[in-house]
Chains A and B, each alone.
Chain A
Amino acid sequence: MFQFTIRRLILAIPTLLFISLMIFLLLELAPGDPMAQVPLTVPPEVKEKMREALGLGQPMHIRFWKWIVQFFWIEPQVFLDYVFGTSFSEGKLRVISWQTRSPVMDIVVQRLPQTLWVVGVAYLVGIIIAIPIGIYSAYKQYSIFDQAGTFISMVGYSVPPFFSGVFVIVIFSVNLGWLPSIYDTTHVVRDWDSFVVQLRQMIMPVMVLALQITAQISRFMRASMLDNLNQDYVRTARAKGLGERVVVMVHVLRNSMIPVVTVIALGIPSIFGGAIITEQVFKVNGIGQLLIGAIQANDLPMVQTLTFMFAVLIVLFNLIADILYGILDPRIRYD
């Protein structure tokens, strides 16, 4: 198991390097000039200096290497400095955004809490709703509850977040006027009243994201419960006189949770991706919105760094899911 973990960790490094190269090349080989917006009255030698100031003067491989160094070597140093008050990174060049001329990571750190709050709460809510639904619809397979659950999860799969988001805005903000349609990120929670305001503005984005998550996870939970309910050990447990509650909630549930836990781990990065649209609908000032803004402003360093961060998340959680699988299920130890 330990060997397997180490092997996977080592394999993740070339994967990540290759992905970063692909993102870099995609941005690099794409036609289009970042200096295209500069007026024609600017003399060519000034333009050349501006180009160099953006870090565009050198050949491609040197810029890729510089970006790698900045991302993997200098940014962790900045983080260390921030945590321990040291000064490793003093005077070193960081990844700079073309829009704001400030380090990309600083902006990411400013935006991250909003995304994490909304997405994290939605994920938790989704899981908490999905697991009981999955258990019950598997236990009463083909009952009315099961049919309704299937239908609702089909709807959750099929209704895209940009429609369900707008739909709840029309109902709860426009018609009923109960909830604000725009998420105010400058809002600070100080006392009970401001906490209620925060809660009210979080309801709708969380609802939209949680619907999708619930749809996915409840299906997995149901399928996994159904696999286990017909196993011999369940009959044994019933035969020796255990109560139905103990059989289902202890014996079957614990075995059914194994694949579901890995699916939950695998879903975390895709929720970051899906949050791009939800953030756009509710004007949440998070990572997804930052990416859209950077794409529209042609801010290549920002786009590159953010896309790569998403890739790191995906690779990381794939790894976590694989390792969790081995830890939870002794039958699939990778020895």
Chain B
Amino acid sequence: MTELSNPTPSKPPRNQWWDVWDQFKTHRGALIGGIVFVLIVLTVFVGPWFWTIEATHIDIRARNQGPSLAHPFGTDQLGRDTLARMMAGGQTSISVGLTAMALALFLGSLVGVLAGFFRYLDGPLMRLTDLFLALPLLPLLLVMMLLFREPLNAAFGPETGIFILIVFAIGITSWMPTARIVRGDVLALKEREFVLAARSIGTKNSSLITRHILPNVLSPIMVSATLGIANAIITESALSFLGLGFPPDFPTWGRLLFDATDYLQQYPERVFWPGIAISLTVLSVNYLGDGLRDALDPRVRGR
């Protein structure tokens, strides 16, 4: 038998996430997207510590101003600072996006894993998914907004109530793609040898799912997470734009855009700030998801 030229590896073994990161770095769009998204989140959440004007502070003498040093983005028809309102609106929009995405992801993974793992649940759960996919989502969201707004407002206060309603409504109407993808992956994983090995040493179903199945379907879940954020932000803005989202004195990007369309003739630039913020966030998240999909796919990673 020939000796190995190098019997002990000279380098310590690399964590696989370093490989993922290496592949992710080569996708320039994804890298820029990730940086832009982190920057937006930082600006929106940390920015108010440095830009101390209140988003609701009314200075009626300084209304309808253009960009200046005191107000870099100008002021609105009540003299409220647009930069402060943009940051406050971004906090709401991004929080809604992240929370609704988490809810949709939880529901989707749960349904997907259950349907893929337990054969007797597969039929009913997938019929349920098909049914939800056949629902007209935007009209239903609008109806839900209209019907449940008042009681939730009464129960939790106007802001928390509508936040819960929007997050719940978006979450419950956008879990289906995740469920389908996860189910497909679980079905394939279930037949692999390592699952058989784990089962043969007596692993219970619950720990089989959490130890062996879930870590292996993490990559499709992460990719749908990015797409879910984008979808949730757009849906929330659309609801606010149609006047059925957050109340008028509670800024979100969609609401700011909706309010600005009334002054389209006189101050067209006011529409652009929230519009660009929404589009840039969604664009960066989409690019991030694109890069993640490539980086997490071992077939692409080697090339």
**Does B244 make an interface contact (CB < 8 A)?**
yes
Chain A neighbourhood of B242, CB < 8 A: 276-277, 280, 292
| B142 pairs with A291, CB closer than 8 A | yes
Docked-complex contact B135 and A273, CB < 8 angstroms: no
Question: CA separation between A254 and B230, bound complex, in Å?
Answer: 34
- In the bound assembly, the distance between CA atoms of A160 and B230 in angstroms comes to 10
Bound-complex Cα distance A292 to B144 (A): 13
Whether the pair B275, A163 counts as a contact (CB closer than 8 A) is: yes
User: Does A89 make an interface contact (CB < 8 A)?
Assistant: no
Complex contacts, A154 vs chain B, CB 8 Å: 283, 286-287, 290
State A314–B176 Cα separation when bound (angstroms): 15
Q: Are B134 and A273 in contact (CB under 8 A)?
A: no
Is B261's CB within 8 Å of the partner chain A?
yes
- Asked if A23 and B134 sit within 8 Å, CB to CB, the answer is no
Cα separation A158 to B264 with both chains bound (whole Å): 22
Counting CB contacts under 8 A, is A87 at the interface? no
- Interface residue range, chain A: 35 or more
**Chain B contacts of A315 at CB under 8 A?**
134
| Bitwise interface map of B from 135 to 158 toward A, beta carbon under 8 Å scored 1, else 0 | 111111011101110110000000
Residue pair B139, A273 in contact (C-beta under 8 Å): yes
Q: Would you call A100 an interface residue if the criterion is a C-beta within 8 Å of the partner chain's C-beta atoms?
A: no
Q: Is the CB of A162 within 8 A of B257?
A: yes
B134 touches A314 (CB 8 A): yes
Contact assessment for B139 and A276 in the assembled complex, using a CB-CB cutoff below 8 Å: yes
Interface assignment of A37: CB less than 8 Å from any CB of chain B = no
Stretch at the interface among A167-175, A186-194, A245-253, A255-263: A167-175
* Interchain nearest-CB distance for A144 vs B (Å): 14
Interface of B is mostly: helix
Closest approach, in angstroms, between the C-beta of A55 and any C-beta of chain B? 18
**Interface status of A39 (Cβ within 8 A of chain B):** no
Hey, which chain A residues are within 8 Å of B243, CB to CB?
296
Chain A facing B: main interface SS: helix
Of residues 241 through 294 on chain B, the ones whose CB sits less than 8 Å from some CB of chain A are 241-244, 254, 257-258, 261, 264-265, 268, 271-272, 275, 278-279, 282-283, 286-287, 290
**Which of A15, A30, A276 is B147 in contact with, Cβ under 8 Å?**
A30
Taking a contact as CB atoms under 8 Å apart, the answer to whether A166 and B275 are in contact is yes
| CB atoms of A160 and B238 under 8 A apart | yes
Which residue of chain A is the closest to B265 with respect to CB atoms?
A174
Chain B window 119-138, contacts with chain A (Cβ cutoff 8 Å), 1 for yes, 0 for no: 00000000000110111111
Q: Is the CB of A318 within 8 A of B134?
A: yes
Q: Mark A17-43, 1 if CB is under 8 A from B, else 0.
A: 011001100110011100000000000
Q: Which of A19, A32, A167, A292 contacts B134 (CB 8 A)?
A: A19
Cβ contact within 8 Å between A276 and B271: no
**How many whole Å from B144's CB to the nearest CB in chain A?**
7
| A154-B226 Cα distance, complex, nearest whole Å | 14
* Chain B residues within 8 Å of A280, by CB: 241-242
* A170 close to B268 (CB less than 8 A): yes
In the complex, which residues of chain A have a beta carbon less than 8 angstroms from the beta carbon of B133?
Answer: 314
Residues on B with C-beta less than 8 A from A313 are 136
Please report the C-alpha to C-alpha distance between residue A286 and residue B258 in the assembled complex, in whole angstroms: 20
The answer, yes or no, to whether A159 is at the interface (CB within 8 Å) is: yes
Question: Contact between A166 and B286 (Cβ–Cβ < 8 Å)?
Answer: no
In contact, A163 and B139 (Cβ under 8 angstroms): no
Contact A310 B131 (CB under 8 A): no
B234 interface contact, C-beta 8 A: yes
CB <8 Å contact, A23 and B140 = yes
Report which residue of B135, B137, B290 has the largest number of chain A beta carbons within 10 angstroms of its beta carbon: B135
State the CA gap A19–B143 with chains docked (Å). Answer: 14
Within 8 A of B (CB), among A195-218: none
Query: Which residue of chain B lies nearest to A303 when distances are taken between CB atoms in the complex?
Result: B143
Taking a contact as CB atoms under 8 Å apart, the answer to whether A295 and B271 are in contact is no
How many angstroms from the CA of A22 to the CA of B146 in the assembled complex?
16
Instruction: Please determine whether B234 and A160 come into contact, CB atoms closer than 8 angstroms.
Output: yes
What residue in chain B is nearest A29 (Cβ atoms)?
Answer: B147
Q: Does B237 contact A (CB under 8 A)?
A: yes
What A residues does B268 contact at CB under 8 A?
A: 170, 174-175
Contact among A27, A158, A274, A277 with B143 in the assembled complex (CB-CB below 8 Å): A27
Contact among A15, A19, A158, A167 for B282, CB-based, below 8 A: A158
A154-B290, A160-B282, A166-B257 given; 7 more Cβ-contact pairs under 8 Å: A15-B131, A160-B237, A170-B268, A277-B138, A277-B241, A280-B242, A295-B143
Per CB-CB distance, the 5 closest pairs between chain A and chain B, nearest first, are A30-B147, A310-B136, A163-B275, A158-B283, A158-B282
Binding site for B on A (CB under 8 A): 15, 18-19, 22-23, 26-27, 30-32, 154-155, 157-160, 162-163, 166-167, 169-170, 174-175, 181, 269, 273-274, 276-277, 280-281, 291-292, 295-296, 298, 303, 306-307, 310-311, 313-315, 318
A-B contact pairs, 17 of them (CB 8 A): A15-B131, A19-B131, A26-B144, A30-B147, A154-B286, A154-B287, A159-B279, A166-B261, A166-B275, A167-B271, A274-B138, A295-B146, A295-B244, A303-B139, A313-B136, A314-B135, A314-B136
